[in-house]
């Protein structure tokens, strides 16, 4: 008889399973599309040269390895908890689980900070002239007000924003097709590499940045409890969404490098706006800038909402100081957690740049991905009764190795990215130990997550 250790049925108070395969696919695509491609095409060009489409292709291949681990785990444990759940089940070490969750939290804040700087750049410059940092800080203030007032995100809103984001990218693709038909641009530039660092190091550095544009697929696991058939639908939506987003990205990257010189792309804070400006196919730059602002703004808003709610949830569970669980009496929003996350974001915006903050996001999530890839192999001993996708063992194993390699300085990542990531994780470690000391000194209680459930 097969041994089973499946999670019990979550019971009558579980979330409703209402999301079908097509909606799930659209959510995955929408979660991936956003600030990354609108902001980082130029930064990738600065790393690799004219062949900036190649890092997106390599990033897709590498992301697909980790995606197999997520596809297996979400089918095996269809719960809305993601990497923290998998780490907890695999290693059963509360501090490790916390660090994984905190790394995901901080990656959201660094991503939002990168998006804020992208928002304050050339796209905003089409409407008003402000220093980039000032525009970013004003944007963070607006996001904070919306977060404080309370916002209810739904799948319908996500669908609308996905259509807007995708439309802007398809405009770029249409510009590229028109340019090729007219014989404009320099397609040969798409095969050029920077001579200085060599093609291999250039592609590695560009891939580390391009990986940021593909992030978001891992967030979709939080819909596991609301999918109609996660075991069947999630793998198809995950791999399909990654493939669709990558094809769009490669077409956009090819168009950008064909129509705009590499140096111009690398120095621009609104690289796709440079494509619209030189296009033979007329499209209002202000309209495209508005689309880009919506895409970038949506990325930052979702990340800050997620981050503040995650801090609030940790505080309620007694994992971090309970002061962060304070809720506004009228707005019913976690104001203390919101202030904490926006304070971190303000410091990051004031001290970083788009490329560095995006790279910090990638570094944090590469470490999380490595943990997930190891977890899926460890949890092979934990059998479940229902059928689910099973990744070939070599794929998560290779995924773990690739994630660790990409996290190393061999990619050309600046030292300040490691310092920034270390400081952010250090904040979490301090909160963890201060909280434990406070609880132990007060009444010896452990965090709720470590207590045994009552009979």
Q: What is the DSSP string of 294-326?
A: HHHHHHHHHHHHHHHHHHHHHHHTTSS-GGGG-
Mean pLDDT of 159-185: 84
Is the pLDDT at 107 greater than 70? The verdict is yes
pLDDT of res. 455:
33
- What are the start-end ranges of the H helices in 317-448? 335-351, 354-378, 394-406, 415-442
Task: Return the higher-pLDDT residue of 206 and 418.
Answer: 418
Going by pLDDT thresholds of 50, 70 and 90, the confidence category of residue 452 is very low
Is the pLDDT at 307 greater than 70? The verdict is yes
pLDDT of res. 437:
79
Domains recognised in the chain with CATH numbers: 21-437 (1.20.1740.10)
| Range with lowest mean pLDDT among 271-280, 309-318, 338-347, 364-373 | 309-318
pLDDT of res. 396:
94
pLDDT of res. 439:
63
Q: In this structure, are residues 279 and 259 in contact, taking their beta carbons and an 8 Å threshold?
A: yes
Mean pLDDT of the chain: 82
Helix (H) or strand (E) holding 156: helix 155-182
Is the pLDDT at 360 greater than 50? The verdict is yes
Mean pLDDT of 420-448: 75
Scanning the structure block, which residue is given the tokens 């593909």? 214
Going by pLDDT thresholds of 50, 70 and 90, the confidence category of residue 400 is very high
pLDDT of res. 159:
63
Q: In this structure, are residues 208 and 402 in contact, taking their beta carbons and an 8 Å threshold?
A: no
| Range with lowest mean pLDDT among 106-115, 159-168, 420-429, 443-452 | 443-452
Exposure letters 67-90 (e unless 16+ CB within 10 A, then b): bbbbbbbbbbbbbebbbbbbbbbb
Is the pLDDT at 389 greater than 50? The verdict is yes
User: Residue 22 has which token pair?
Assistant: 């097509």
pLDDT of res. 225:
62
Is the pLDDT at 153 greater than 90? The verdict is no
Is the pLDDT at 357 greater than 80? The verdict is yes
Is the pLDDT at 146 greater than 80? The verdict is no
| Nearest to 41, CA basis, from 275, 230, 320 | 275
pLDDT of res. 154:
41
Distance CA 52, CA 301 (A): 28
pTM for the structure as a whole:
0.83
Task: Return the higher-pLDDT residue of 279 and 175.
Answer: 175
Going by pLDDT thresholds of 50, 70 and 90, the confidence category of residue 53 is very high
Judged by phi (left if over 0) then psi (alpha if -120 to 50, else beta), residue 412 lies in: left
pLDDT of res. 224:
63
Is the pLDDT at 393 greater than 90? The verdict is yes
DSSP 8: P
Mean pLDDT of 161-179: 86
Going by pLDDT thresholds of 50, 70 and 90, the confidence category of residue 362 is very high
DSSP, residue by residue, 219-272:
GGGGGGGGBS-HHHHHHHHHHHHHHHHHHHHHHHHHHHHHHS-HHHHHH-SSHH
Is the pLDDT at 108 greater than 60? The verdict is yes
Ramachandran angles phi, psi of 19, nearest 5°:
-95, 120
pLDDT in tens, 17-42: 666 777 778 777 877 887 778 888 88
pLDDT of res. 434:
84
Is the pLDDT at 444 greater than 50? The verdict is no
Alpha-carbon distance values, 358 to 34, 113, 216, 273, 349 (Å): 13, 9, 13, 20, 12
Is the pLDDT at 346 greater than 90? The verdict is yes
């Amino acid at each position: 008889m097969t041994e089973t250790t499946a999670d019990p049925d979550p019971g009558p108070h579980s979330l409703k399973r209402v999301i079908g395969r097509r909606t799930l696919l659209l959510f995955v695509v929408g979660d991936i599309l956003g600030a990354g491609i609108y902001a980082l095409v130029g930064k990738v060009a600065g790393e690799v040269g004219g062949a900036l489409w190649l890092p997106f292709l390599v990033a897709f291949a590498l992301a697909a390895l980790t995606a197999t681990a997520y596809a297996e785990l979400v089918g095996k444990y269809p719960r809305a908890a993601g990497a923290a759940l998998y780490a907890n089940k695999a290693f059963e070490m509360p501090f490790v689980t916390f660090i994984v969750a905190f790394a995901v939290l901080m990656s959201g804040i660094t991503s939002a900070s990168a998006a804020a700087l992208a928002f304050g750049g050339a796209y905003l410059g089409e409407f008003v002239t402000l220093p980039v940092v000032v525009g970013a800080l004003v944007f963070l203030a607006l996001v904070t007000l919306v977060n404080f007032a309370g916002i209810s995100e739904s799948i319908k809103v996500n669908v609308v924003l996905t259509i807007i984001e995708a439309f802007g990218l398809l405009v770029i693709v249409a510009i590229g097709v028109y340019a090729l038909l007219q014989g404009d641009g320099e397609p040969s530039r798409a095969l050029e590499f920077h001579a200085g660092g060599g093609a291999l190091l250039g592609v590695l550095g560009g891939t580390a940045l391009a990986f940021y544009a593909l992030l978001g697929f891992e967030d979709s696991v939080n819909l596991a409890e609301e999918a109609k058939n996660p075991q069947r639908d999630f793998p198809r939506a995950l791999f399909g969404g990654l493939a669709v987003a990558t094809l769009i990205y490669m077409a956009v990257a090819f168009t950008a490098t064909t129509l705009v010189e590499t140096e111009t792309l690398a120095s621009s804070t609104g690289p796709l706006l440079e494509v619209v400006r030189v296009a033979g196919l007329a499209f209002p730059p202000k309209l495209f800038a508005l689309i880009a602002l919506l895409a970038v703004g949506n990325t930052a808003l979702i990340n800050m909402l997620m981050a503040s709610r995650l801090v609030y949830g940790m505080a309620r569970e007694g994992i971090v100081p309970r002061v962060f669980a304070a809720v506004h009496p009228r707005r019913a929003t976690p104001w203390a957690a919101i202030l904490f996350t926006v304070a971190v974001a303000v410091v990051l915006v004031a001290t970083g740049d788009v490329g560095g903050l995006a790279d910090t996001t990638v570094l944090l999530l590469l470490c999380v991905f490595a943990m997930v890839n190891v977890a899926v192999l460890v949890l092979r001993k934990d059998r479940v009764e229902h059928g689910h996708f099973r990744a070939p063992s070599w794929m998560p194993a290779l995924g773990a190795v690739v994630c660790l390699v990409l996290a190393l300085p061999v990619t050309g990542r600046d030292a300040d990215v490691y310092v920034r990531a270390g400081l952010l994780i250090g904040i979490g470690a301090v909160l963890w130990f201060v909280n434990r000391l406070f609880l132990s000194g007060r009444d010896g209680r452990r965090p709720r997550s470590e207590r045994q459930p009552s009979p």
